[in-house]
Structure 1
């Protein structure tokens, strides 16, 4: 139940950032100091949020079928994808 609610929030924020261009939802975003392409930032951040929502929704099913190893895999996926996301965002600026 908790993972479903959290994943719905990630879907919602991903949609609002990507499609509705509500960039103020991005932590640390300052419109006055940002010099990159806002469209690309919105798209990348929105897709990343939706991706996190999908794997958060799938997590309880993995825990039920595979066991606690799926929690470790979930953590590794989150860490690696976040590192890659931050590197890509910084390279775009």
Structure 2
């Protein structure tokens, strides 16, 4: 179970890194395909402004995913006491005693 949570945390972090890479790639492609009369500095500022929240969310996903993975990985390393058997024990059968006369 914990290893699955660790893998999920790493997956979230990888997703955040992938999102950040795609935003950067989108910036490069957008600025490369500007019309000749457009100002690239202004277009870059507009793109950065529009994607600022997305970039922040991507880094937050990376941080949260790594924190989750690290926490679960560290708890795997902590040794716990063996479980205590809490099943009720049955009493030994009582021998029947004869009734007094």
TM-score of the two chains, using structure 1 as the length reference = 0.43
The structure with the largest alpha-carbon Rg is: 2
Structure (1/2) with the larger helix percentage? 1
